[in-house]
Amino acid sequence: MKLSILFPFLTILLSPNSTFENQLKPDVFFYVEDFQSDSIGELPNNWYNQRGEARPQTYTGELRETYNYSIMEENGNQFLRFTGIRGKHLSYPFFDELDVNIYETPILSWDWRIHDIPETASEYDKNRNDAAASIYVVFDLGHVLFRKVPKSIRYTWSSTLAVGTELSKFHGNQKIVVIGSGEDGLSEWKTFERNIVEDYQRLFEDDPPSKPIAILVLSDGNDTNDFTMADYDNILLKSHRSN
């Protein structure tokens, strides 16, 4: 499952099979996370709570138990698994020292393996707004009335909505894009790629900032009170889609 780039900073690779013109435009990667350096059975080291204030990996007792994620291992590959009902966001903040520019690396790529979905959940219904897996790209602050809220694109595996469904929440500040649905392909690793610059331009009718605030993940069955299990791996930004 692992890709060839094993560090979280910009890496330049030239493809020997590309044309000379393409070689002049080398692939650029920013590796967010592959979970290989984390301890099995624990939360990932580099991920924070939803607000980016503290690392849940350091939590103990009842607070730690509210995070139903853990690092798992299969055949030497490590990944993040959610197992349970109650979900909380994990956030990977793009701190100032991280050199990220999504105009250079507009393709967000990641792997999901969905095992169990929250039955009857629907992103359309605030009382059933659960999903087996979601990954968010969070941008600068928008406004709802007198409050500032982040703008975000949420890519989700929906229990009931069709792939390609798009909807808007929080007065237009969160855009939801369904990229997986139902029980199709359960227990299989799948790689997803999205051009987040193009998605932002289409969904918000504006150009995104060059650097997002964070990437978040969330699995949950809170509203439907239904068990959910999903795996995450190989989250990265890159300059070009895979062939």
Q: What is the pLDDT, as a whole number, of residue 149?
A: 77
Taking the C-alpha atoms of residue 150 and residue 147, their distance in angstroms, rounded to an integer, is 10
Q: What is the pLDDT, as a whole number, of residue 11?
A: 37
Q: What is the pLDDT, as a whole number, of residue 10?
A: 34
Q: What is the pLDDT, as a whole number, of residue 15?
A: 39
Q: What is the pLDDT, as a whole number, of residue 97?
A: 86
- In this prediction the pTM is 0.87
Give bridge partners of residue 147 from the DSSP assignment.
144
Q: What is the pLDDT, as a whole number, of residue 5?
A: 39
Residue 197 φ then ψ, to 5°? -70, -50
Taking the C-alpha atoms of residue 196 and residue 213, their distance in angstroms, rounded to an integer, is 13
CA distances from 5 to 26, 105, 138, 161, 233 (A): 14, 15, 24, 34, 13
Contact by Cβ (8 Å): 209, 139: yes
Contact by Cβ (8 Å): 26, 14: yes
pLDDT along the chain (243 residues), means of 10: 40 38 66 97 96 94 94 98 96 93 97 97 93 96 68 97 95 95 94 98 95 97 96 97 82
Full set of structural domains in the chain with CATH: 21-238 (2.60.120.260)
